[in-house]
Amino acid sequence: MIYILQNPISILTTTNNGCLSNCSGVINASTTGGSPPYTYSLTNSSCTTIPCSNLCNGLYNFSTKDAFGCNSFNIFSIANAVNILSSSISFTNVSCATCTNGALKVSASGGNSPYTYTWSPTGGNSVIASGLAVGCYTVKVQDAKGCFVNSNYCISSPNGIEATGLTLNDVFIYPNPAKTFVNIEFNGAPFDYTVFNNLGQIILFGKQVINKATINLNQFAKGIYFVEVESGNNKIHKKVVLE
């Protein structure tokens, strides 16, 4: 009598790497058919028992062998996780130009909880950053897989102007309201400028400008923007309306 031996069949499940880790992938297998016990081997890895862990990004050949030496092969890949994390910020502006009663709250969704929060240049490590002065703030939200997203917002005062070191007599920002462009003039040391939209996102910036910068706003929608001018340790923030 002739017996035809069946090859073993392995069904694989994979776990991809996190956003920041390139070698945390995992492969597991459920094997049927053939004649146990089964042995396993994996290309580019010393793993011989399942699950196989600490796998880097790449393409792998997974081999299953039964007690009679019958083989089956599977090909699979390990990749980085797709970052589907998102965040948004709600705000409370300060009640006066020199007040420190502004607050920002971040809401995160997607990705893999729990989330961690890091505010800069100040604000702590919780969902809400309070006791804030006029200025622009960034929060980094990171999930359990190492995926992260940054969100920005600029706290403003009732008149839309705040200066630290610099004064309004030092810096000229015009025309305001603007239609297609805005000029920044500062007749002192070289200065940097940053333009934020009303969500606190950086849309333009310039470094080490001498005397005057002309910013083209044609590509942006009508609305409220914030211009930050910095020279040395001195800063001024000004609200600009684009009509």
Q: Count up the domains in the chain and report the number.
A: 3
Q: Which two tokens stand for residue 207?
A: 């470094």
What is the model's pLDDT at position 46? 85
Q: Indicate if the pLDDT at residue 73 is higher than 70.
A: yes
Q: Is 66 within the bounds of a domain?
A: yes
- Residue predicted with more confidence, 131 or 233: 131
Decide if 2 is inside a domain.
no
The model carries a pTM of 0.53
CATH number for the domain harbouring residue 148: 2.60.40
Q: Please state, in angstroms and rounded to a whole number, the distance separating the CA atoms of residues 194 and 189.
A: 17
Of 103, 126, 155, the residue at which a domain comes to its end is 155
Q: 167 in a domain, yes or no?
A: yes
Please confirm whether the linkage preceding 177 is cis (ω < 30° from 0).
Answer: yes
Domain span at residue 53 reads 9-78
The pLDDT tens digits of the residues spanning 5-60 come to: 688 889 999 988 877 667 888 999 999 988 899 999 998 888 888 899 889 888 99
Q: Examine the domain organization and report whether 73 and 94 are in the same domain.
A: no
pLDDT in tens, 179-192: 889 988 887 678 88
Q: For the segment 132-168, what is each residue's pLDDT rounded down to a tens digit?
A: 888 888 899 998 888 888 888 888 766 554 555 555 5
Would you say residue 143 lies in a domain?
A: yes
Other beta carbons within 10 Å of 179: 11
Helices (H), 3-107: none
Residue finishing a domain among 155, 189, 212 = 155
Q: What is the amino acid identity at position 141?
A: V
Report the CATH number at residue 210: 2.60.40.3080
Alpha helix segments (H runs only) across 64-131 = none
Is 90 found in the same domain as 71?
no
User: Would you state the pLDDT for residue 191?
Assistant: 86
pLDDT of res. 89: 86
**Domain assignment of residue 93, yes or no:** yes
144 falls within a domain: yes
- 17 Cβ contact list (under 8 Å, min separation 6): 23, 24, 25, 55, 56, 57, 78, 79, 80, 81
